Amino acid sequence: MRAFQIKHFTGRSIVQLTLLVAFLLLGLPALAQDAAAVPDSSESYIVEDEDVPYGVAAGYMVGRKLLEEGNVAEALPLLHMAYRAQPDVIDIAMDFQAALTAKGYFKDALAVVDQMVTLYPDSLDFLVERANLHLKTGAPEKALTDLRTLRSNGHVTYSIIDVEAQILAADGKTDQALDVYRDGLHLLPEQGSGLYLGMSGLLQNAGQDDRIPGLMDEALVDYRHVPRLWLVKSRALAAQGEDDAALKTAQDADTYFAGLAIAEAVDELGADPDAVPQAEAHPMRAANDLPPDSFVVELADFYAQRRELDKALGILQPLAATGELRLAPSLWLGRLLLGTGRTEEGVAVVSDILTRWPDSGRGWFLKGKATEGAGDWPNALPDFAHAVELEPRDPEIRLGYVRAMLVVWEADLTTTTPTEDQEAHRTEFRRHLMVASTLVPDQDMEGQLILGYGFKGVSDYERAVWRFGLASENPDLRMNALMQKSLCHDYLDELDKARADLETLHREFPDHPEVANSLGYFLAEKGLDLDFAAELVTSALAAEPGNGAFLDSMGWIHFRNGNLEQALDYMIQAVNVLPDDPVILEHLGMVLKAQGKPAEALDVLRRALARGGDQERLQTLITELEAAGSQGQ
């Protein structure tokens, strides 16, 4: 479901309001810049004619072309020359002022438009543009004067009323702004619902939310058929803590629009009301602006967005119990229950969904999520697979399947000598991974992280690097994503990039032990800056003295420095903490081998191989030790 807010009118800056006037009323090109990004409007534009290499006509044509291409700096002197020669020609004057405005010379642009207003006093467009420039130069009262002149001349549009009201509101004149909207109700009755919504947004921006329900009651007298007015009232009441009134408003809205839908169906079909199918009575049939299921469901969604989950569940669960919820809110309810730890209730809702809508891909997806949540990944896998069959273009469903395959088939994906069944799993995984990569948008950072793990799982490190890089833009995912990205660079033998990622993390998280250990271990593994590596891992161990991975890193640093006794001591401590970690076992085996203890080393390395360590590297070491042992006999 969408994330709903009470706010219906987004607060706009004065600069943004001026753009609204220009775009909606004049259709000017998008050249104007934010005042903070352009020169001070008090500056004037000066150019010498001898600096312009064209004649007037040719210069204007070239300048206009450059302006259209967005090359304002080069267009400006050419247009200025044309304006000085022909200041009364409308096209030349307006192109010149547009270029001045784009470069931030607002007062110079205002002078040009003033001249146009003087020459053409009956032109409404020039008054609109002058109001626009008055706002840019920080003169809202002058802008209001021009807007009011437009209104008095009968040039009234929603945009002019809206901008005038917002100028007043920005100056703290809330009631005067409301009066402007109310004038609009008489002048533009066909725009009445929009004007009321503008008023509600204005009140919210002014911190006067308590006035919104009464305003919506007034609006609903004449515009009862506009669903957004009902939504605003219901949400405003909910935000004020008037939950019973909010629910009643939502229920009244559902009843009203259901009645409209039935009436429309009767008119269209010529049928008896009792013969109209129940689906036709749903309020979604009444107007395109309605929420996806019902006003009551949308109220529950509003509570959920405000983290008032008990209120949301209090609305939805009774409806689910009586079978009144349609598919979308039923799915939403099941997901909410599962996500908040109310697993038994969530599973019951999902079971009901699959009974009523057995072809719902989302229903099977939630069944898979419930099974996954119970730790039963293998049995979750077929549920996700069926969900993908039913809704193959749903990115979340496809990602859920990819993630489950990563967990269940981890050994199949990483083995270097796959069986026939394992190779089939690898092929299946790659296929779904590639499809998922075409469905997940770049903005879905969590999805990108899963894709990164997927591509890393099949050793496609270049694609994994890109996905982890996208995921790292999310602050909550950044640490993990950059660590994984560093590992992929390492596998690609891009050591500078791998180190750069870890150093970036160390700068951003200087006190995080996991980050310090990762950089320290990387340096030790590559035999680089071992003293600095020791400092990093020492700081990590100070924070977590019993961390097996940190103990292994320190042992490995000592091994690299040739301190075999200290290395052995740390490795034994690490193995005691993580006895089945193949990397730690491999390190211990190599220390024992370096100490001249081949039998002990061979035993430990065989354990590392059995625990899933690097098969090629470990088998080479084992073969070497076995050969040495046979020669020594």
Mean pLDDT within 477-500: 96
- Looking at residue 613, its pLDDT comes to 86
The answer to whether residue 552 scores a pLDDT higher than 70 is: yes
- Looking at residue 12, its pLDDT comes to 33
- CA dist., res. 379 & res. 360, Å (int): 19
Q: Do 121 and 185 belong together in one domain? A: yes
Count of CB atoms within 10 A of residue 490's CB? 19
From 275, 19, 87, select the one nearest 97 (Cα to Cα): 87
Query: What are the φ/ψ torsions at residue 269 (nearest 5 degrees)?
Result: -95, -15
- CA dist., res. 627 & res. 589, Å (int): 16
Residue ending a domain, among 283, 306, 329, is 306
Take residue 42 and report the two structure tokens written for it: 């008090």
Residue 401 lies in a domain: no
- Average pLDDT over the chain, rounded to whole? 83
Q: What is the DSSP string of 27-94?
A: ---S----GGGS--TT------GGG--S-HHHHHHHHHHHHHTT-HHHHHHHHHHHHHH-TT-HHHHH
Under a CB-based contact definition with an 8 Å cutoff, are residues 44 and 108 in contact? yes
More confident residue, 258 or 371: 371
More confident residue, 501 or 328: 501
Report the range out of 28-42, 350-364, 610-624 with the highest average pLDDT.
350-364
The answer to whether residue 455 scores a pLDDT higher than 70 is: yes
Residue 535 lies in a domain: no
The answer to whether residue 283 scores a pLDDT higher than 50 is: no
Residue 429 lies in a domain: no
The answer to whether residue 49 scores a pLDDT higher than 60 is: no
Q: Which residue has the tokens 């490995």?
A: 556
Residue 112's pLDDT band, with cuts at 50, 70 and 90, is confident
Residue ending a domain, among 151, 180, 206, is 206
The answer to whether residue 279 scores a pLDDT higher than 90 is: no
Q: Do 189 and 219 belong together in one domain? A: no
Q: Do 13 and 113 belong together in one domain? A: yes
Q: Do 154 and 228 belong together in one domain? A: no
Residue 55's pLDDT band, with cuts at 50, 70 and 90, is low
DSSP-assigned letter for residue 24: I
Q: Do 173 and 223 belong together in one domain? A: no
Q: What is the pLDDT of residues 162-209, one digit of tens each?
A: 777 877 787 788 998 898 889 888 888 898 999 999 999 999 988 999
Residue ending a domain, among 165, 185, 206, is 206
Q: What is the DSSP string of 94-141?
A: HHHHHHHHHTT-HHHHHHHHHHHHHH-TT-HHHHHHHHHHHHHTT-HH
**Range in 150-159, 365-374, 475-484, 598-607 the model is least confident about:** 150-159
Q: Do 169 and 290 belong together in one domain? A: no
- Looking at residue 10, its pLDDT comes to 30
Q: What is the pLDDT of residues 401-452, one digit of tens each?
A: 999 999 999 989 988 788 999 999 999 999 999 999 999 999 999 999 999 9
- Looking at residue 321, its pLDDT comes to 87
DSSP-assigned letter for residue 210: G
- Looking at residue 176, its pLDDT comes to 86
Mean pLDDT within 362-384: 95
- Looking at residue 41, its pLDDT comes to 44
- Could you list the residue range(s) of the whole structural domain that residue 585 is in? 580-633
- Looking at residue 15, its pLDDT comes to 31
Q: What is the CATH number of the domain that holds 115?
A: 1.25.40.10
Residue 246 lies in a domain: yes
Q: Do 226 and 180 belong together in one domain? A: no
Q: Do 241 and 119 belong together in one domain? A: no
The answer to whether residue 289 scores a pLDDT higher than 60 is: no
Secondary structure of residue 617 in the 3-state scheme? helix
Q: Do 251 and 122 belong together in one domain? A: no
Q: Do 2 and 148 belong together in one domain? A: yes
- How many domains in the chain? 3
Residue 304's pLDDT band, with cuts at 50, 70 and 90, is confident
Q: Do 244 and 297 belong together in one domain? A: yes
Residue 245 lies in a domain: yes
Mean pLDDT within 299-323: 89
Residue 34 lies in a domain: yes
Q: Which residue has the tokens 């009140």?
A: 203
Q: Which residue has the tokens 């099941």?
A: 334
Residue 150 lies in a domain: yes
The answer to whether residue 281 scores a pLDDT higher than 70 is: no
More confident residue, 16 or 268: 268
Residue 431 lies in a domain: no
Q: Do 201 and 215 belong together in one domain? A: no
More confident residue, 454 or 59: 454
